[in-house]
Amino acid sequence: MNKAFTRETDDDDDGGAADVSPSLPQGARNYITPVGRARLVDEIDRLLRVERPRVVEVAQWAASNGDRSENGDYLYGKKRLREIDRRIRFLTKRLDLAEVVDPAARRENRDQVFFGATVTLCDEQGEERTYQIVGIDETDFARGRISWISPLARALLQARQGDEVRFQSPSGWREVEVVSVDYVAIEP
């Protein structure tokens, strides 16, 4: 059958890579910091106000050129619009489920590791690294932001300065010492 007579779908599960964040564990809340929420809102805004109108304009121009079945600009534009719309739906759902937790507002047990904590660790080789425990939509290992559902973060939860924590890493079991616990965000 000619492609012109087939229906294109906008289903969430049509194989696109727009939704790259891991899924939440069953029954878990989608915790997020205020900074992380602002990033998601900014991304939705950019997609709606900049990306989508630009792609629509190109697709309309390409459609006006005639035969759409072999028009690369038109076909790519339609595909890109589906990707943008899928990402917007995904981010909107994530924000609807999000529970914003401000680490700076934490008043009690500031010496213990909870969501939003910035933790400095010392490993077996004596190397110190600093991580902030954030929501799964904010994870950026290169910047020291680890998800609260990661093995390291789960092992660190409720630990205090001076505690030794053992966790399963991809290279096997590791042990780290908690050097400090703070509730200030790592710079973006």
Q: Which two tokens stand for residue 173?
A: 């079991």
Mean pLDDT of the chain: 84
Question: What residues does each domain of the chain span?
Answer: 29-100, 103-182
Helix (H, G, I), strand (E, B) or coil at 111: coil
- C-alpha to C-alpha distance for 95 and 43, rounded to whole angstroms: 12
**Matching fold, domains 29-100 and 103-182:** no
Mean pLDDT of 133-145: 91
Q: What is the pLDDT of residue 132?
A: 93
Q: Flag whether pLDDT at 79 surpasses 60.
A: yes
pTM of the model: 0.74
Q: Flag whether pLDDT at 184 surpasses 80.
A: no
CATH of 29-100, one of 1.10.3720.10, 3.30.499.10, 1.10.287.180, 1.10.490.10: 1.10.287.180
- The residues, any chain, with a CB within 8 Å of residue 40's CB and separated by 6 or more, are 32, 91, 94, 95, 98, 137
Q: Which two tokens stand for residue 150?
A: 């990661």
Mean pLDDT of 31-54: 94
Task: Kindly tell me the number of DSSP H helices and DSSP E strands found in the chain.
Answer: 4, 7
Range 103-128 burial, b when 16+ CB lie within 10 A, else e: beeeeeeeebbbbbbbbbbeeeeeee
Across 36-45, 64-73, 144-153, 169-178, least confident range? 64-73
Mean pLDDT of 110-139: 92
Domain 103-182 has CATH 3.10.50.30: yes
Q: What is the pLDDT of residue 21?
A: 60
What band does 185 get if pLDDT is binned at 50, 70 and 90? low
Q: What are phi and psi of 132, to 5 degrees?
A: -115, 135
Helices (H), the chain: 34-46, 52-63, 72-97, 151-156
